[in-house]
Amino acid sequence: MERSLVIIKPDGVQRGLIGETLARFEKRGLKIVALKLMLIDRPLAERHYAVHKGKFFYESLISYITSCPVVVALVEGPEAIKVLRAMVGATRPSEAASGTIRGDYALQGLRNLIHASDSPETAQYETSLFFTPPEILPYARDVDRWIYES
């Protein structure tokens, strides 16, 4: 099983898309193993977005992600990263395909509703920023035998 960090960003929270977004993941067969509503402070935002430091949009990105609560989830499933990235859609909402979260609900720029890890290494690093090991609750679901191949 693979895990990916997902952040429902401030615009997703403000627009009431938390339930819709999480439901899409569950309907697809992915399992949520950690979940929290939180405010991201500047130091955490800077660690999370360190790869973008020095880019023209960095300060507005930090300001945006710290502007109101976000929902952070750890999602698990076979090829979870690849599956989630496909479900989320292109970073630029105007390029996101219809049927993806961004393609269905986002319009422009930083207001792209959601973040999902882009690699196993990134997922591991991001998970460590937002969750401690006791907050991650792996569990069995009876329905998994109908979703996952043996």
The answer to whether the beta carbons of residues 135 and 36 sit under 8 Å apart is yes
pLDDT tens, residue by residue, 41-98: 999 999 999 999 999 999 999 999 999 999 999 999 999 999 999 999 999 999 999 9
Q: Measure Cα distances from 134 to 31, 77, 90, 139 in Å.
A: 17, 19, 33, 13
Q: What is the pLDDT, as a whole number, of residue 108?
A: 85
* Calpha distance 92→106 (Å, rounded): 9
User: What's the CATH architecture for 2-138?
Assistant: 2-Layer Sandwich (3.30)
* Calpha distance 106→102 (Å, rounded): 5
Identify the band that residue 139 occupies on the pLDDT scale cut at 50, 70 and 90. Answer: very high
Q: How many CB atoms lie within 10 A of CB 23?
A: 10
Question: What's the whole-number mean pLDDT along residues 116-122?
Answer: 96
pLDDT at 110 over 90: no
Q: What is the pLDDT, as a whole number, of residue 149?
A: 85
Identify the band that residue 101 occupies on the pLDDT scale cut at 50, 70 and 90. Answer: very high
Question: What's the whole-number mean pLDDT along residues 11-29?
Answer: 97
Tell me whether residue 52 is one of the annotated catalytic residues.
Answer: no
Query: Which position among 5, 93, 115, 117 bears the catalytic label?
Result: 115
